[in-house]
Structure 1
Amino acid sequence: MRKTTLLAAAALLGSPGLTLAQNTAEENNPNVDAPFVRNLRADRPGQTITAQVLQPGRFQLETGFQRQFGGPGFAQSQSGATLRIGFFNSMEVRVSQPYFHNGPTIPTETGTISASGWAPAVVGAKFMLSPNYNTRTQVAILAESAVPNSGSTGLRQQGWAPSARLLVSEQIGERFGLEGNFGFSQPGLQVQDMEKGQFLGTLALNGPLSAKTGFFVEAYGYGRKALNTGTTTGIYYRPVPGVRVDFTAGRVLGGAAAGTSTVGGGFTFKVGR
């Protein structure tokens, strides 16, 4: 009788129901395996940055190239890369480095300088406000700044140039997502720099076209007294789970930069969960 009781107790302790009860709340979340959560999400292309924060130990490298032409501005080609690293306490650190392939000449006391080459490096952190990494509604704060005296001579600046964004994403079904940003950036830390600051608002929809391909489309506005408004659209392809390639096109529809068009492409690679 005693032996039978011990065997019954061992069977109960090893049952799936009790094993599940020992999992964390996040592991028991039914949304943990949703394609929108598990698929590779990038902070590019377009103006919208995803509310997703990388989990600890995950690295993600995002690179891209964009050509800007038409409109009143200077036709320009730009490339760059962003390294994102998942840290503890629901935080992600990031470093970006843009590169301008061509630019106008700037007159100085010592002669003219070409505004091309490496732009100032940008460092920042993304902080998750959502209860876990897999919730259907994700909210995060992104804080960044250009680093003083970094970049090429014609592009570097003397002080910090801070910016901040509130990032929100809402999962629709299992695969689609609606993402929005609201932010503000300024060229320095002094009070008068706030008067030169720029507001930014974006709204983007993304979803699948097939098992490995998908689309995104966004609308945005940036500026202060008069907003530049525009749209960006594109498609992306994931040949394997940790790699994503995207192609984009956009146009500024209103404001001082109206008529400006952009085309570009990018590559994203991740390591870790």
Structure 2
Amino acid sequence: MMPNTTTLLISAGLLLARPISTLAQTTDPNVDNADTPFIQNIRPDRPGQTVTTNMLHPGQVQLETGILRFDPTDASWGTRRTLSSALLRVGFFNHIELRASQGYLHPLPGTSVFNEANPTVGPAGFTPLTVGAKFLASTNQDARSQVVLLTEMTLRTGDASFLNKAYEPAIRLLVSQQLGARYGLEANVGFRQRGFQAADTKLGQYLGTLALNGPLGGNFGFFTEAYTTWQRSTRFLPGLTSGLYWRPLPGLRLDVTAGQQFGNLGTGFTLGGGLSVRLPK
């Protein structure tokens, strides 16, 4: 009986091995994930506080532009300001993405540029340039779960009206989880400070975000996030951002957003729109 039983078990195992192996391959969450809309479609790092884990492949170039109306935290800047911004992303080798971003703060209507004789008029013009890089910490660039490290440095450039400029190093951990073939859940934890001294860390700003994005049908979709900033000596400043986007092509996306930050030191209500282009697709 024992040899016959063993033979039957081995035969049954051989018969089941192939379909089980095939089933295991089809249920692997990373198999053929590179062809899903979540991976193929453009995923910009705007318009909110959340930076995506999306990494451009070597040779790909992505330009993200936007305009934002906001309430400055500094009352001398005026009641409402408009900020235009641009982010250039370039895919590099070894799972690295290089980045450079800069904004343009539009002058207040009917006012002159900031100078010593008119100190109440806030700064205007090009803001300090920020350069940085993304580094893939995951093993697979197209996996459903991603971990990416973002490092940035804000330089002492920009218009002379921006006073007390300093080097601002920043680091951020980016985590994402793909939900289905088109939805994505993103989270960020980061820190930014002015200067390199140990005392500067006490005035550094922490950031935490949680965002969800996905389709609403066809080429339309939504984006929504909750975030908060804080320092060692200040309270949390939470905020919300939400918007809609239209993606007529896999490498082209337009969006409109609105947001609200709470607290006396927050930026209040924000309203913005943007355009993102990726080449090649």
Counterpart amino acid of residue 221 in structure 1? T
Instruction: Please report the RMSD computed on the Cα atoms of aligned residues, expressed in angstroms.
Output: 2.1
Q: What is the deviation of 1:251?
A: 0.5
Counterpart amino acid of residue 125 in structure 1? A
5 Å matches for 1:51-200? 51-69=53-71, 73=75, 74-102=79-107, 108=116, 112=119, 114-148=122-156, 150-155=157-162, 157-200=164-207
Q: Distance in 2 between matches of 1:269 and 1:206?
A: 18
5 Å matches for 1:249-260? 249-253=258-262, 255-258=263-266, 260=268
Task: Name the structure 1 match of 2:248.
Answer: 239
Q: Distance in 2 between matches of 1:229 and 1:111?
A: 34
Task: Name the structure 1 match of 2:278.
Answer: 270
Q: Distance in 2 between matches of 1:219 and 1:44?
A: 14
Q: What is the deviation of 1:72?
A: 7.9
- Higher-helix-fraction structure: 2
Cα contact 1:66–1:262 (8 A) shared by 2: yes
Q: Distance in 2 between matches of 1:157 and 1:87?
A: 34
Q: Secondary structure at the match of 1:32?
A: helix
Counterpart amino acid of residue 260 in structure 1? G
Q: Distance in 1 between matches of 2:73 and 2:93?
A: 44
Q: Distance in 1 between matches of 2:247 and 2:236?
A: 35
Moved more, 94-103 or 118-127: 94-103
| Residue 228 of structure 1, aligned match among 221, 237, 259 | 237
Alpha-carbon deviations, 1:35-74, whole Å to 9, x = none? Answer: 1111110000010000111111100000000001398854
Cα contact 2:61–2:88 (8 A) shared by 1: yes
Q: Distance in 1 between matches of 2:276 and 2:163?
A: 27
Q: Distance in 1 between matches of 2:238 and 2:166?
A: 28
Q: Secondary structure at the match of 1:36?
A: helix
Counterpart amino acid of residue 186 in structure 1? Q
Alpha-carbon deviations, 1:126-161, whole Å to 9, x = none? Answer: 10111111100011011001112x100011655311
Q: What is the deviation of 1:190?
A: 1.5
Distance 1:259-1:240 versus aligned 2 partners, 3 A rule? closer
Task: Flag structure 1 segments of 5+ consecutive residues without an equivalent.
Answer: 1-27
Task: Name the structure 1 match of 2:32.
Answer: 30
TM-score by length of 2: 0.81
Alpha-carbon deviations, 1:219-245, whole Å to 9, x = none? Answer: 000021311101000000011221100
Q: Secondary structure at the match of 2:34?
A: coil
Task: Name the structure 2 match of 1:10.
Answer: none
Task: Name the structure 2 match of 1:210.
Answer: 217
Q: Percent identity?
A: 44
Q: What is the deviation of 1:258?
A: 4.9
Cα contact 1:64–1:264 (8 A) shared by 2: yes
Q: Distance in 1 between matches of 2:248 and 2:34?
A: 22
Task: Flag structure 2 segments of 5+ consecutive residues without an equivalent.
Answer: 1-29
Cα contact 1:164–1:185 (8 A) shared by 2: yes
Q: Distance in 1 between matches of 2:73 and 2:163?
A: 25
Q: What is the deviation of 1:87?
A: 0.1
Distance 1:100-1:55 versus aligned 2 partners, 3 A rule? same
Q: Secondary structure at the match of 1:209?
A: strand
Q: Secondary structure at the match of 1:245?
A: strand
Task: Name the structure 2 match of 1:45.
Answer: 47
Cα contact 2:70–2:267 (8 A) shared by 1: no
Task: Name the structure 1 match of 2:27.
Answer: none
